[in-house]
Amino acid sequence: MERGTSFLFSGTKFDEKKFATDFARFKDKKEADLLEDELGLLDSGKSEPEPEIVAVKKRKRKAIVSGTVEGFSVFKTSSKPATVANEQNYQDDENGTSKEKKELYRQIERDALFRKKYNIHISGINVPSPLKNFSELSSRYGCESHLLHNLAELGFEEPTPIQRQAIPVLLSGRQCFACAPTGSGKTLAFICPMLMKFKHGSTNGIRGVILCPTRELAAQTTRECKKMAKGNAFRIKLMTKELARSADFSKLPCDILISTPLRLQLALRKKKISLSRVEYLVLDESDKLFELGLLKQIDSVVKACSNPSIVRSLFSATLPDFVEELARSVMPDAVRVIIGRKNTASESIKQKLVFAGSEEGKLIALRQSFTESLNPPVLIFVQSKERAQELYEEIKFDNIRVGVIHADLYQIQRENAVDDFRSGKTWVLIATDVIARGMDFKGVNSVINYDFPDSAAAYIHRIGRCGRAGRIGEAITFYTEDDIPYLRNIANVMSASGCEVPSWIMALHKQKWKKHRPRRDSILTKPKNDQE
C-alpha cells in the first residue's frame, strides 16, 4: 500500500477532544454563515475561447440508445423558441439602421467577452445575454422583490456562471440543456426562472415539475425551492409514496411538484393527477434519468406534460454524448450551455489514487487514517448495499460517529442517516451511489472511494459531494489489482481538472468502461454472527 495513507486526511488528530470542537462547528455554524464563506465561487473559472453563436457542430457521435421513446416525440411539438419582449434579439434586422446594427454587434461582443470571463460556452441562435448580477433579474425581467430578498437572505450575492446564462435562457422561454460542475449552483438556475415566471401561487393545477433520480435529492430540491419561494404563497410539493398512491391532485393545490420518475409514474397510473398545464419541466441529473432503467418512467411523464408551450430543460454535471444526441434530436432549438469543460470534476477538489493491495488493505488504510488524522465530515462510497452494511458493521465500534445509507434501508432510516450527517451528529457517512448525485452536504471535507467507482461519471458525482460552491475538498480513491485496468479512465478526469497523476498510470490503456463492479472479498473481518 502507498505509504502514509493518512496524509490524505490533511487536518486534525482524531480524538475525543477534537470531536467536540468540530462537532460544534458542524452543529452550530448557521447555513447563512457557511454560504457567506462560499462566495469566492465566481473567480475560479479559466476562460477557453469559443465562438459565441455557434452552429450545432456536426460531430460523429455514438449511436443513441436503441428503441424509440414515444414520449420524447412530444418534445418536437413545442420547440419553437419563444419571442421575448424583454430580451435583445440578435437577429439581423433588415430595416434596422446601421447605428442599431453597430450597437447590436457591440452587445454581442460585450456578451462574448463576459462569457469568456466566466467560462460560459453556448450553442444556439439568439442566446440571451448572461446576467451581470442578480439585480438584472428585476431590471430585465421584472423579478418580484421578495425573490431578490430571499437570494440576499441566503447569502447569494453574485450569480454563479451557470446561473448567469441558464436563467436568462429559461426566462426567454427557450429549452435548454446545461452542463456545469458539481456544486456550482444548478438547482437555483432552474428554480429561479420557474418562480419568476409563475409570480404567485394559483389553483389552476401543476405548473412546474422537477424530476430527480433519488428521493433524497427530490427532498433536498423541495427544501431549496421552498427557501427561494419564502414570502409567496406557492404550493411546492414533494411527491411522497402516500401522495403518489392516494392523493387526488385535482383537489390538492400544487404549483410545483418535485418527484422521482417512479413515484410520478405511479401517480399518473392512478389517474388522479394531470400534468397538462405544466409550463416548466426540469430533468435534474438528466444523464442518470436517461439510463435505461428510468427511461420508460421519464417517457410517460414527458408524454403527460402535454402543454404545447412547455419549456423543458436538462441539467447535470455530466453530459455524455448519447444524452446530448438524444436531447438534440428532440429539442433541436434548445440552447446548450456548458460551463468550463464537459464531464470534468470540480477544480477545487484535490484528488488522489491510493493502491490498497487488497480488501483487507483498504480496511487497514481506513482505520489508520481514522486514528491518525481525520478531517470530518467524510463521505465513504462503496459499490453495493451489502458492502455498505458490512463496512458500517466493521467500523461502528471504532469510536467514530458513523452512519450508513443505502437502498435496502427503510425510508425513515435513510432520512435519519442524511439528517444526522447534515447536523454533525455523525461524522462519517458510508453510502452507496444512492447519494452520489446532487446531494448538497455543507462542508464535506473528504470523499473516500473505498470501492472504485463503476464509471467516470460516477467518480465525478461522488467526489463532487465535497469542494462545493468554491470550497476546497479532498477525494481519495482506493484501488486494488482488479481496478488497475480502469485506472486510466479516472486518471483522465483527474488530469483534466488539474490534478497530478503518476506517468505510469497515464501510460495505461484506456479501457472501454462497462459498469465496473468486480466481485470483492467481504469487508467483514469476523463471521457475520460474531458481529454484535
Ligand X SMILES: Nc1ncnc2c1ncn2[C@@H]1O[C@H](COP(=O)(O)OP(=O)(O)OP(=O)(O)O)[C@@H](O)[C@H]1O
- We find the least distance from the C-beta atom of residue 528 to ligand X, in angstroms, to be 35
Going from the C-alpha of 443 to that of each of 21, 109, 439, the distances in angstroms are 15, 38, 12
Q: Distance (Å, rounded) from C-alpha 90 to C-alpha 175?
A: 18
Report the number of secondary-structure helices (H) and strands (E) in the chain. Answer: 20, 14
Q: Which is nearer to ligand X, 135 or 276 (CB)?
A: 135
| Backbone angle region of 249, left / alpha / beta, with phi > 0 → left and psi within -120 to 50 → alpha | alpha
Q: Which is nearer to ligand X, 217 or 278 (CB)?
A: 217
Half-sphere exposure of residue 139: CA atoms within 13 angstroms, side-chain side: 6
What secondary structure letter does DSSP report for 231? T
Q: Which is nearer to ligand X, 5 or 214 (CB)?
A: 214
What secondary structure letter does DSSP report for 381? E
User: Alpha-carbon torsion 292, 185, 501, 480, what sign?
Assistant: negative
Q: Distance (Å, rounded) from C-alpha 288 to C-alpha 169?
A: 23
Q: Distance (Å, rounded) from C-alpha 221 to C-alpha 191?
A: 9
358 is written with which cell numbers?
A: 487488497
- We find the least distance from the C-beta atom of residue 41 to ligand X, in angstroms, to be 6
Q: Which is nearer to ligand X, 338 or 501 (CB)?
A: 338
Question: If DSSP codes are grouped into helix, strand and coil, which group holds residue 199?
Answer: coil
- We find the least distance from the C-beta atom of residue 180 to ligand X, in angstroms, to be 6
Q: Which is nearer to ligand X, 403 or 438 (CB)?
A: 438
- We find the least distance from the C-beta atom of residue 358 to ligand X, in angstroms, to be 32
| Residue 157, Cβ density class (10 Å: 0-12 exposed, 13-18 middle, ≥19 buried) | middle
Q: Which is nearer to ligand X, 74 or 170 (CB)?
A: 170
Q: Distance (Å, rounded) from C-alpha 28 to C-alpha 8?
A: 26
- We find the least distance from the C-beta atom of residue 316 to ligand X, in angstroms, to be 7
Residue whose C-alpha cell reads 418562480 in the numeric block: 195
- We find the least distance from the C-beta atom of residue 470 to ligand X, in angstroms, to be 8
Q: Distance (Å, rounded) from C-alpha 261 to C-alpha 211?
A: 6
Q: Which is nearer to ligand X, 44 or 307 (CB)?
A: 44
Bridge-based pairing of strands 120-123 and 335-339 is: antiparallel
Q: Which is nearer to ligand X, 74 or 188 (CB)?
A: 188
327 is written with which cell numbers?
A: 436531447
Task: Determine which helix (DSSP H) or strand (DSSP E) holds 479, and give its type and residue range.
Answer: strand 473-480
Under a CB-based contact definition with an 8 Å cutoff, are residues 458 and 490 in contact? no
- We find the least distance from the C-beta atom of residue 35 to ligand X, in angstroms, to be 5
- We find the least distance from the C-beta atom of residue 318 to ligand X, in angstroms, to be 9
| Residues at the contact surface with ligand X, assessed by CB under 6 A | 35, 38-39, 41, 156, 158-160, 163, 180, 182-188, 317, 438, 440, 464, 468-469
- We find the least distance from the C-beta atom of residue 326 to ligand X, in angstroms, to be 20
Q: Which is nearer to ligand X, 156 or 392 (CB)?
A: 156
Q: Which is nearer to ligand X, 186 or 207 (CB)?
A: 186
- We find the least distance from the C-beta atom of residue 458 to ligand X, in angstroms, to be 13
Under a CB-based contact definition with an 8 Å cutoff, are residues 449 and 477 in contact? yes
Q: Distance (Å, rounded) from C-alpha 354 to C-alpha 505?
A: 12
Beta partners for 454?
A: none
- We find the least distance from the C-beta atom of residue 225 to ligand X, in angstroms, to be 11
Q: Tell me how far apart the terminal alpha carbons of the chain are, to the nearest angstrom.
A: 30
Q: Which is nearer to ligand X, 327 or 469 (CB)?
A: 469
- Burial per residue of 402-415, b for 16 or more beta-carbon CB atoms within 10 angstroms, e otherwise: bbbbbeebeeeebe
Q: Which is nearer to ligand X, 166 or 487 (CB)?
A: 166
- We find the least distance from the C-beta atom of residue 181 to ligand X, in angstroms, to be 7
| Residue 435, Cβ density class (10 Å: 0-12 exposed, 13-18 middle, ≥19 buried) | buried
